Amino acid sequence: MLNILGRRNSSNVQKVLWACDELHLSYEREDIGGSFGRNHSAKYLAMNPNGTVPTLIDNGRALWESNAIVRYLCESREAHGLLPQDVWSIALAQQWMDWQQTILAPAIRPLFWNLIRTSPQNQDLEAISAGRNNTEAALRILDDHLSRHRYVAGEHFSFGDIPVGVMAYRWFNLDIQRAAPGLRRQRHDDHHLEPTGAMFNLFGNERKAKRLNKDALTIIRSDEVAYLPVHLKACATMVGEYLATFLLATPKTKTSPGSPIWLKERHRDARRRRDQIQLTAATLSIIYLRARELGQLGAPVCEIIDNAMERWAGDPDASPEVLPDPTQASYSLAPK
């Protein structure tokens, strides 16, 4: 079992939590640093002499520096697509990880510190203005890169996207006016509408429910515009099968403990094969199960998906006789 030492509202800790979720790794986490303190205790400094978070404990060995931890986890466990297959793409992923540490993080730090960690009467307005300008300048570099590439290391999501994704998420949640572009955002079939995975575990249930609602609506609306009724019907059938398989095995008195590994594997396999039916079905099923965990807060999300699947399944133009076989690796959707 991995042990992660560090408070979850630290952006550096968030990188490691996100990576663990993408890699399907179990871990225990202990609140250290910030208001929790103890990061300068003799015990902690013996593991991490910098007194920073996070520190990873793996089989009694300590590792610090968040980006190093993310790389270690990808290289020491099944990578689940996070580790690029060629040395050039690995170098690009590492390049953007280092860029996040040396360019983006120093730019946003005074902005975040003044707006979040400092009382209004003590805020340094000049530092806020400079931080905003510097962060926008840095993000324009990233935005320009993403205008020519789906992700920082090329066409596939990798460990290099995690640090910049955490920083971008922090930037877009600051209550400021922004002149910078909104960063190129990929369709859900390219893996992330917004940072997902462990990011779902970092915030309150209301925010989780709002994000799930937004993601479900975005996926449903984009697919209804892009694909034919026959494809939507096939997707609805698959969603029904996925949820039935999981929910029948789960006592009705309990909420689900999370998305099952087999469903996450279906999602990953669909991305690899570019099978849009399976990808949409797995994504909506994962959203449904995560919403179900939230009880009443998540009920509207489940209703949105239920209504969409009923609509897709009942479309008279979607004849089951001509449904494509989603198990064939060569299958891909043809847009309208």
Q: Which amino acid is at 284?
A: L
- Whether 306 shows a pLDDT value over 60: the answer reads yes
Per-residue confidence at 183, pLDDT binned at 50, 70, 90? low
pLDDT in tens, 208-252: 788 888 888 988 988 888 888 888 999 999 998 888 888 776 544
DSSP 3-state of 40: coil
* β-strands 2-5, 27-30 pairing: parallel
Q: What mean pLDDT do residues 78-96 have? A: 92
Q: Measured between alpha carbons, how far is residue 207 from residues 164, 196, 216, 268, 328 in Å?
A: 21, 13, 14, 25, 38
Contact 83, 89 (CB under 8 A): no
Q: What CATH number labels 87-186?
A: 1.20.1050.10
- Whether 189 shows a pLDDT value over 70: the answer reads no
Q: Quickly list H helices, the chain.
A: 11-22, 42-47, 66-76, 87-99, 105-116, 125-146, 161-172, 205-226, 229-247, 261-273, 276-293, 299-313
What is d(CA 230, CA 329) in angstroms, rounded to the nearest whole number?
18
Per-residue confidence at 201, pLDDT binned at 50, 70, 90? very low
What is d(CA 275, CA 332) in angstroms, rounded to the nearest whole number?
5
What is d(CA 20, CA 25) in angstroms, rounded to the nearest whole number?
5
Low-confidence winner among 122-131, 167-176, 190-199 (lowest mean pLDDT): 190-199
- Whether 163 shows a pLDDT value over 90: the answer reads yes
Q: pLDDT > 90: what percent of the chain?
A: 43
What is d(CA 20, CA 18) in angstroms, rounded to the nearest whole number?
5
Largest alpha-carbon pair distance within the chain?
69
What is d(CA 298, CA 208) in angstroms, rounded to the nearest whole number?
9
What is d(CA 87, CA 100) in angstroms, rounded to the nearest whole number?
20
Phi first, then psi: what are they for 45, rounded to 5°? -65, -25
Q: Which helix or strand (DSSP H or E) is residue 3 part of?
A: strand 2-5
The Cβ-side half-sphere exposure at 15, using a 13 Å CA radius, reads 31
**Average pLDDT, rounded, for the chain:** 81
Q: What mean pLDDT do residues 81-100 have? A: 95
Contact 257, 69 (CB under 8 A): no
- Whether 323 shows a pLDDT value over 70: the answer reads no
Would you list the domain boundaries of the chain? 2-76, 87-186, 203-322
The whole-number pLDDT of residue 58 equals 96
- Sign of torsion over alpha carbons 199, 203, 204, 209: negative
Q: What mean pLDDT do residues 66-77 have? A: 96
Fold of 2-76: Glutaredoxin (3.40.30)
The Cβ-side half-sphere exposure at 203, using a 13 Å CA radius, reads 16
Per-residue confidence at 330, pLDDT binned at 50, 70, 90? very low
Per-residue confidence at 186, pLDDT binned at 50, 70, 90? very low
DSSP 103: I
**Most confident among 82-86, 91-95, 291-295 (mean pLDDT):** 91-95
DSSP 3-state of 61: strand
Residue indicated by tokens 């996100």: 18
Contact 169, 195 (CB under 8 A): yes
What is d(CA 145, CA 149) in angstroms, rounded to the nearest whole number?
6
The whole-number pLDDT of residue 167 equals 92
End-to-end CA, the chain: 48
Per-residue confidence at 178, pLDDT binned at 50, 70, 90? confident
The whole-number pLDDT of residue 182 equals 55
DSSP 3-state of 276: helix
Q: What mean pLDDT do residues 166-195 have? A: 62
pLDDT in tens, 244-286: 888 776 544 333 445 677 888 888 888 888 888 899 999 999 9
3-state per-residue secondary structure call for 293-307: HCHHHCHHHHHHHHH
DSSP 3-state of 260: coil
